Amino acid sequence: MKLIRDLFKDYRFAVAFGIVCLILLLAILSAFSPYDPRNAYQTPRGLPPSWQHPLGTTWLGQDVFWQLTFAVRNSLTIAIIASIISRLIAIIVGVLAGYKGGIVDRVLMSIGDSTLTLPIFVVLVLVSLVLRQWVRQLVNLGLLLAFFAWAWDARVIRSQVLSLREREFTFTSVLSGMGSFKLIFKQYLPFLLPVVFTTLINNMSWAIGMEMTLSYLGLGIDPSIPTLGTMIQMAIYRQAIFLGLWWWILSPIAASVLLFVALYWISLSLSEYLDPRARMQRIGGKQ
Amino acid sequence: MKENGVVLKAEHLKAFYVLRSFGRQVLVKAVNDVNLEIHKGKVFGIAGESGCGKSTLLKGLFAAIVPPLRLFGGRVLYRIEGQDVEVLSLSPEAKRQIKWKFISYVPQGSMSVLNPIAKIKRTFRDVLESHDRNVEEALEMAKKHLTELGLPSKVLHCYPHQLSGGMRQRVTIALATLLQPDVILADEPTTALDVVTQRSVIQLLKDIQEKWGNTLVLVTHDMGVHANMADRIAIMYAGSIVEEATTQEIFGNPCHPYTRYLINSLPRFGEKSMRESVPGNPPSLSALPDGCPFHPRCPHVLRVCREQVPNLINIGNDHKVACWLIGGEHNG
Amino acid sequence: MDKTLEVKNLTKIFSVGSIFSRTKITAVDNVSFHIRPAEIFALAGESGCGKTTTAKIILGFEEPTSGEILFKGKPIWTWRRKPRQYMKDVQAVFQNPFETFNPLKTVDEFFYETVRNYGIAEHKNDVEAVIRARLEAVGLSFEEIRGRYPSEFSGGQLQRASIARALLTNPCLLVADEPVSMVDASLRMSIVNLFKKLKDEFGLSVLYITHDLATAYYVSDRIAIMLRGNIIEMGPVDLVLTKPRHPYTRLLRESVPEPDPQKKWVQKITVTTTEHEEYLRKGCKFAGRCPMATNRCKTEVPKECFLEDGVMVKCHLYEQEDVMQAEIIGSQQASKKR
């Protein structure tokens, strides 16, 4: 598609895309893992990287490479759930608040602002302690993170909608007989999507980061489920550095750093490309 | 430039916009070989449709040729204190010295030039400070200047949004003339204003000219404004000047078919007879036709019009036209 | 007499300012006028005089504070119970053609939307035929419009497209809010001639809102001059613009720059400083700038005086000539005699 071709002209997007593909490949490979990720002592312990075990093995007798594939898959799952659900909530709330205005706007924004003022960390810790069993599931953590992530963007979307509502083509749409729903969907969405997409990707980074932090503290996900966070936590808990098993701790760290950089670059190049003013310049150049 | 009284001159000025469109380079020929001589103390009007290049020409005259606009030939000369200065080759520092003192520029939509979150007096102060005046002096100068122009000095203490559109425009003009420049370039100063406000802006420009005897170059598509203000008018079409003469000549004896259309398309009170606009659309400046740029829309087009660009020749009475229909014998 | 649109005592008050200082601006003050079928009615005045607000109220985008608007004899609020029915008959064209269309979407989208939403045609070929016909009526071709974005057109072309879109539903009233202000002076004729043609061929009525008196003179049948929310003069356009009575109309008329170097402006004028200054005046709103203002003008609001030749003026100067007043006095005297 022309869109993809244009994006690839930006070197940052090209490189980042490559990294993301690599990571996705890892995630897909997890389906072919010969080892069950939850079981320990399936391989000799503490082996350095070799042909048989490309990233070595852990002190608990697990193959680091195959662990990583699961870790990547699970972390991405949490991130995707958290970001997509929070985007959906943000769009619905933002559009309702901006378009309807009045009391609907006030109520929705108050709710949103309340979630913004909550100390995320404290709440997450509390929930992890109180609802220990519930939070251990991947999906639930995703939902919990989504709860904190929608308010900011809802406000951004709301202000966009407010300004779009005053523009003349809104009147033209009404005069053309378009109902509110169609108006928002067809006319406003092209303006709103750029914001949504870039924050989606930023949100994914944030979600992965939060998960890693929680796991590092021993809260959140069940430590036997491999995620980037739990892998690091396990490695540190089991004195990987002390024991000289650098491959065990370096692999998840390297993977997450690569992932963060890639996501950042994608969101950067996407937002530059989708900026409405830049789009209009490109449209004009068609002559 | 030995002639008396020529204060600003453009010679074979060519300035094009260089745009990249999907990997290809596109040249928008906004100013295509323009020659102009502007005399001291007069009002020179430049008229033409939107997109004919007149704003770009003004930018060129102000030596503000910045990317994506690039100079492709020609020069612009200012006569400063008896010396001819070729402006386009000066360093930015040297240009800065000249700007605002010798020549100033009132841009299109100049109402938005004012800082919306600062009171007017701060904007005035900023301009004066950057030309080495201190703060107290600056405020005094600003007050005096406004009073001289008949504007209430209380506007200094207002924010731009508190003023009416017309007042904002006049304040911007006052700002541009703060240091009493010799030449003022005004780009569409009356567009988007209603008739009464328009009249007050023009009145102000006239007052300034009468008081300080400066030169005014006025760009607008409104021929009525030119009739009221200009001493000499140049009609621009698709990047070139097609006719240039005194105001009386242009309105009394328009020669170029485009000029005739322009004048006849304007409604007049007392006449409800059918009037026509210029038919068709102006050419894209990046894809100019061969020969005379007006020939696709011209009702009297000849074969030579399609092939060769006519030169701007003097047909007497200081009236210049670029058309094969007129002065054919001069062109051979 | 048949009236397409009748506006009666329309008033709209806005409250502006911050929490600490709110001022009430009467944007539209007791405005009354009517438009007949196949008539071009001009509503003229400076910017900020309330004409756009009036248009928005007529179109239903704003609610009036008080007053009534009748469309084809019935009040607007009954029409707007079925908004599509109303909008089919009353369409609009706006000032900025580049804002009228969504810059990120193609121009023809609105055409398709209008045709489909109002049930004008169903089958793809019929839809195209209708659109093509309307575009031809304004001097554009379907091929020119298809698949192109607003930024690829010139202002004049786009404005004509906007008019074509408004005509798709065969409206009987077109509200045109400053349709030519953003178009080059030399191209205004092509747009304005369109209105004339549509009036003559299709019986369209147009509410032509403008500050350009020259085009108003050229194209309209009747005209009303607005000043800060009040209609201060109204009548047949020939009379009002060639023999202006109200001092403000005279000012407007003289301020139109004539394309004739022999007719230059001689007098100097004064201009308001701030936006709200004139709105908050007691008495006649023009008293601050009027060359003939008296003390009475500054305190007492003039009432409507109906003159012999059909012109209405709101000015103390013409009280003696008011025919309605004369009638009232006449009948009072007649009843006294009995």
Query: How confident is residue C325, by pLDDT bands cut at 50, 70 and 90?
Result: low
Q: How far does Cα C180 stand from its chain's mean position?
A: 13
Query: Which has the higher per-residue pLDDT, A274 or B250?
Result: B250
In this complex, the chains that touch A, judged by 3 or more CB pairs closer than 8 A, are B, C
User: Is residue B70 assigned to a domain?
Assistant: yes
Does residue C265 belong to the interface with chain A, where contact is any CB pair within 8 Å?
Answer: no
B259-280 tens-digit pLDDT: 888 888 877 777 777 777 777 7
A243-254 per-position pLDDT tens digit: 777 888 888 888
Q: Which residues of B touch C181 (CB under 8 A)?
A: 192
Please give, rounded to a whole number of angstroms, the shortest distance from the CA of B64 to a CA of chain C.
Answer: 25
What chains are in contact with C, requiring at least 3 Cβ pairs below 8 Å? A, B
Average pLDDT of the segment spanning C232-250: 89
C230's tokens: 């009040």
For chain B, the 3-state helix, strand and coil shares in percent, each to the nearest 5, are: 35, 25, 40
| Pairing label, strands C74-75, C90-93 | unpaired
Angle at A198 between CA A197 and CA A204, to 5 degrees: 90
Average pLDDT over residues B141-160: 81
- Residue A9: name the closest of A285, A272, A281 by CA: A272
What pLDDT was estimated at residue A28?
86
Assigned domain for B169 exists? no
Whether residue C30 is predicted with pLDDT greater than 80 in this model: the reply is yes
- Residues A198-219 have a mean pLDDT of 85
C176 and C204 in contact (C-beta within 8 Å)? no
| A248 sits in which H/E element | helix A246-274
Burial of B286 (0-12, 13-18, 19+ CB in 10 A): middle
A106-142 tens-digit pLDDT: 999 999 898 888 888 888 888 877 877 777 777 888 8
Q: Which residue did the predictor score with more confidence, A248 or C18?
A: A248
pLDDT value of position C215: 87
> What's the pLDDT tens digit per position in C251-264?
888 888 877 777 66
**Considering only B176-180, B252-256, C97-101, which range has the smallest mean pLDDT?**
B176-180
CA distance to A60, A164, B125, C106, C162, per residue, from C110 (Å): 65, 17, 49, 8, 9
CA distance C282 to C285: 7
The pLDDT tens digits of the residues spanning C277-297 come to 667 777 788 877 788 878 888
Closest chain B residue to C252, measured at CA: B196
Residue C223 has pLDDT above 90, yes or no: yes
Half-sphere exposure of residue A2: CA atoms within 13 angstroms, side-chain side: 2
CATH of the domain at B298: 3.40.50.300
In a domain, B160, yes or no: no
pLDDT category at A283 given cuts 50, 70, 90 is low
- Return the number of other C-beta atoms located less than 10 Å from residue B12's C-beta: 11
Burial B84-104 (b: 16+ CB within 10 A, else e): ebebbeeeeeeeeebbbebbb
Higher pLDDT, C25 or C35: C35
Q: Out of C94, C105, C165, whose CB is closest to A171?
A: C94
Chains A and B form CB pairs within 8 A to the count of 9
Residue B281 near chain A (CB below 8 Å)? no
Within-domain flag for B65: yes
pLDDT tens digits, residue range B216-232?
999 988 888 888 888 99
Taking a C-beta distance cutoff of 8 angstroms, is the pair C28, C229 a contact? yes
pLDDT at B1: 39
Residue B122 lies in a domain: no
The predicted complex's ipTM stands at 0.80
In chain B, residues with a C-beta closer than 8 Å to the C-beta of A287 are 21, 284, 286
At B192 the three-state DSSP class reads coil
Q: How many angstroms separate the CA atoms of C10 and A211, rounded?
A: 62
Query: Residue A2 above 80 pLDDT?
Result: no
The reported pLDDT for the residue numbered A124 is 80
Residue B1 lies in a domain: no
Q: Which two tokens stand for residue C99?
A: 């804002």
B138 part of a folded domain: no
Let me know if residue B290 belongs to a domain: yes
Give the mean pLDDT of chain C: 84
Residue ranges making up the domain that contains B197: 6-102+181-268+279-330
* pLDDT level of residue C221 (50, 70, 90 thresholds): very high
Q: Out of B192, B227, B265, whose CB is closest to C260?
A: B227
Distance of alpha carbon B144 from the chain centroid: 28
**Residue-by-residue DSSP string for B105-171:** EE-TTGGGGS-TTS-HHHHHHHHHHTTT--HHHHHHHHHHHHHHTT--GGGGGS-GGGB-HHHHHHH
Contact assessment for residue A142 and residue A74, using Cβ atoms and an 8 Å cutoff: no
Classify burial at B30, counting beta carbons within 10 Å of its beta carbon; exposed 0-12, middle 13-18, buried 19 or more.
buried
What local confidence, expressed as pLDDT, does residue C275 receive? 57
Strand-pairing partners, residue C331, are: none
In this prediction, residues A73-96 reach a mean pLDDT of: 90
pLDDT band at C74 (very low <50, low <70, confident <90, very high): confident
Q: What does the pLDDT read at residue C91?
A: 92
* Total domains, chain B: 1
Q: Where are the beta strands (DSSP E) in chain B?
A: 6-21, 24-39, 43-47, 69-80, 83-86, 103-106, 183-187, 215-219, 232-237, 240-246, 313-314, 320-321
Extract the tokens encoding B230: 């200009």
What pLDDT is recorded for position C175? Answer: 93
Average pLDDT over residues C27-32: 88
H/E run at residue A190: helix A189-216
Please give the pLDDT value at position C207: 94
Q: Do B195 and C256 touch (CB under 8 A)?
A: yes
Cβ proximity of A133 and A71 under 8 Å: no
Q: Which residues of chain B have a CB within 8 Å of the CB of C48?
A: 164-165
